[in-house]
């Protein structure tokens, strides 16, 4: 069978989802006898289950044939965040309250300056533009 538009043709989406889930689980490191038994029952429950499983397995199996094309597979720049176990714990300084207070004061001062500064005289243009410029200026 080729990897073409007939793969899983006429097979319901939910059956394809179940089949791909089974392929992924059976590909895992720990596959229990109980899991294999449940899989066997599922596989024989309906022809579409078997079709979906066989045809998606074909896709999965053939990925390995691309080992000689490794350079043609796009690099994934996945940003990996540290897990909770390995995340560095940030030490909170007990004297850091004054830094927060200073930051708040600076923000308030910035707003006050912006609000109280005289509006620059602009010879032409709408009032809306003038206010927008003034507002932006206050934050420069």
Partner 1 sequence: MSKKQTDIDVRLARTVRETRTQLLAALARMLPMPEAEEVVQEAYLRLFMALQKSPEIEIRPYIFRVARNLAISRLRHQRVVHEHASAVEMAAENLQQRPNTEHEVCSEQDKQSLLAAINSLPPACRQVFVFRKIEGMSHREISERMGISVKTVENHIARGMRLCREYFIRPAAVVDHCPAGEADHVAG
Query: Which range binds partner 1 by CB under 8 A, 5-13, 88-96, 104-112, 123-131?
Result: 5-13
90 binds partner 1 (CB under 8 A): no
State which of positions 31-50 bind partner 1 (CB under 8 A): 44, 46-48, 50
- Which CB contacts under 8 angstroms, 24+ apart, belong to 59-68? 59/3, 59/7, 60/23, 60/27, 62/3
* Distance (Å, whole) CA 86 – CA 63: 32
Smallest separation (angstroms) from partner 1 to the CB of 15? 10
Closest CA to 53 of 45, 31, 5: 45
x/- map, 47-86, partner 1, by CB under 8 A: xx-xx--xxx-xxx-xxxxxx-xx-xxxxxxxxxxxxx-x
Of 110, 134, 132, 135, residue with least CA distance to 120:
134
Give min distance, CB of 33 to partner 1, in A: 19
Burial of 121 (0-12, 13-18, 19+ CB in 10 A): exposed
Q: How far is the CB of 77 from partner 1 (least distance, A)?
A: 4
**Nearer residue to partner 1 within complex by CB, 14 or 140:** 14
∠ CA 132-105-117, rounded to 5°:
35
Interacting residues with partner 1 (CB under 8 A)? 1-12, 16-17, 20-21, 23-25, 27-29, 44, 46-48, 50-51, 54-56, 58-60, 62-67, 69-70, 72-84, 86-87
């Amino acid at each position: 069978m080729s990897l073409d538009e007939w793969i899983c043709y006429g097979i319901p989406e939910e059956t394809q989802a179940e089949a791909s889930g089974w392929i992924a689980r059976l590909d895992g490191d720990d596959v229990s006898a109980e899991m294999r038994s449940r899989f066997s029952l599922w596989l024989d429950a309906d022809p579409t289950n078997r079709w979906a499983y066989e045809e998606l397995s074909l896709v999965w199996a053939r990925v390995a044939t691309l080992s000689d094309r490794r350079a043609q597979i796009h690099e994934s720049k996945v940003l990996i965040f540290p897990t909770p176990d390995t995340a560095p714990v940030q030490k909170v300084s007990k004297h850091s309250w004054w830094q927060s207070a200073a930051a708040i004061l600076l923000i308030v001062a910035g707003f006050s300056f912006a609000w109280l500064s005289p509006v620059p005289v602009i010879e032409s243009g709408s009032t809306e533009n003038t206010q927008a410029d003034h507002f932006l200026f206050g934050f420069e």
